[in-house]
Structure 1
Amino acid sequence: MSEMKLTYFNARGRAELTRLLFAQAGKKYVDCRLTGDEFKAMKDSTLKGQLPILEVDGQQICESMAIARHVARETGLYGSSNCEATACDMVIESCNEVINAIIGKMFRAKTEEEKAAADEKIHSAVGGLNKVLVKVKGGKFLLGEKASIGDAAVFSILEYCKVANIEPNAECTAVREVEKNFAEQECIANYLKSRPETQF
């Protein structure tokens, strides 16, 4: 398998899903964490002037979800059939709806009324994710007994929720189950203990 280098800031943010996938797969990679000044110095050498980027044998890949999907395919974490990959995609896109709602709260909601409306939108998106999981989850994990990019995406999105001070509603049991089962794996538990502590 090709050597991979993931470059981002010293934060979870848009790179953490990919880091979780590397941890899940037990795949060694270069985890390059830049300061703001270091990024400014190399910004023009990136495809779109933004992070994260993944370098594979000298070839750059940009866009966080394209990176995550690439790593998942390379490491066998995208299912073993087109139907399983589609199940992962449904969960990933549902997670993206949650992220967009959280971004709306953190960067656009100013008044208390706007923040309350944003919280409601986040809860609605998490509820939608839970409905998808109830319908498609095939066992302990999304695809049965082996974790996939779908499980990692759910875990990652709940970390976003914590940053936004959002606790999923009690009825979102499928979301909570996926989070718990994913985090309790030895490979993930070890990664979570060893990763740098960051605010986001």
Structure 2
Amino acid sequence: MSKPVIHYFPIRGRAEVLRLAIVAGGDDFDTVDVNYAEQKGDREKYPFGQCPRLVDGDIDLVQSNSIARYLARKYKLEGKTEKEMCAVDMIMEGVESLRVKYVNLIYNDQLAEAAKETYWKTYFDKETTTGRNGGAHIQYLANYLVKNGGAFCVGDSLTIADLCLWEILDLHLRIFGDQIRETYPELVSYHSAISELPGIKDYLASPKRLPEPNANKLG
């Protein structure tokens, strides 16, 4: 059986969660670097003019969260009950709310120091969880983890929600490492534990994990 193939630009980007899901499921993947002109012009391969794109047998998908949910079903990472599946979806959407803010910090604000200070205060400072933050705050996500015992976001085993939380946390640790370690030790312990899981540990140490998380080399 052929491996799943991920089409993406040579940065981690939003394809990181997809790669994590595949390796956590005990599988491997191949990659194809995207030709930008083809991505924008070929509506059969790239119907939204975007990547990542996943080709897995007769499955051909774009849109990151659609691909993530497909992989969650394939590798049994979607939750064990309807209640768990709903919680997984909810946490994934919570991560996306924070990701929108992160993308703005990286690409619009260019990681300027003043922007970083505002970002931390708005989306990470524990004193601002009731403020106007567009529904995005790391504490909201941490609450689900702590409520569930600290090992996994939902249930008693790994789900795609964990991989989404791990990845968005990993991105922020690159920028706010010392502050996160001081303010959210439970998230740091969680990040370390997920990093050691079978498949994930080997992937993180392999050349398949690209060094740059973003196209502008910031973050």
TM-score grouping bracket, smaller chain normalisation: 0.7 to 0.9
Residues 40-55 of structure 1 aligned to structure 2 (within 5 Å): 40-45=37-42, 46-55=46-55
Secondary structure of the corresponding residue to residue 199 of structure 2? helix
The 10-residue stretch of structure 1 (96-105 or 172-181) with the greater mean CA deviation from structure 2? 172-181
Q: Which residue of 2 aligns with 1:126?
A: 138
Q: 1:142 to 1:114 in 2, by over 3 A?
A: closer
Query: Is 2:150–2:190's contact at 8 Å kept on the other side of the alignment?
Result: no
> Are the equivalent residues in 2 in contact too, given 1:88–1:148 (CA < 8 A)?
yes
Question: Whole-Å Cα distance in 2 between the matches of residues 154 and 180 of structure 1?
Answer: 12
The number of aligned residues is 195
**SS of the residue aligned with 2:124?**
helix
TM-score normalised over the length of structure 1: 0.84
Whether 1:186 aligns to 2:183 is no
Q: Is the 8 A contact 1:6 1:30 kept in 2?
A: yes
Work out the CA distance in 2 between the residues paired with 1:187 and 1:57. Answer: 22
Query: Aligned with 2:176: secondary structure?
Result: coil
- The secondary structure found in structure 2 opposite 1:6 is strand
Is 146-155 or 16-25 further displaced after alignment?
146-155
- Give the 3 Å change call, closer, same or farther, for CA 59–101 of structure 1 in structure 2: same
Of 117-126 and 48-57, deviating more is: 117-126
Matches within 5 A, 1:1-200: 4-34=4-34, 38-45=35-42, 46-109=46-109, 112-124=113-125, 125-135=137-147, 137-138=148-149, 140-163=151-174, 165-167=175-177, 168=180, 170-194=182-206, 195-200=208-213
Structure 2: tracts of 5 or more residues without a match: 126-136, 214-219
**Structure 1 residues 112 and 3: alpha-carbon distance in aligned structure 2, compared to 1, 3 A threshold:** closer
Q: How far off its partner does 1:159 sit? A: 2.1
Identity %: 25
Q: Distance in 2 between matches of 1:155 and 1:114?
A: 23
Look up the equivalent residue of 1:175 and give its one-letter code: L
Shift of 1:94: 2.1
Tell me by how many angstroms 1:145 deviates: 4.2
- Report the Cα distance in structure 2 between the residues aligned to 1:88 and 1:174, rounded to whole angstroms: 19
Contact 1:11 1:199 in 2 (8 A): yes
Q: Return the TM-score normalized by structure 2.
A: 0.78
Q: CA deviation at 1:101?
A: 1.8
Change (3 A) 1:32 1:58: same
* Unmatched segments (≥5 aa) in structure 1: none
Offset at residue 133 of structure 1 (A): 1.6
Shift of 1:143: 3.6
Change beyond 3 A, Cα 1:118–1:140: closer
Asked if the contact 1:3–1:56 (Cα under 8 Å) also holds between the matched residues in 2, the reply is yes
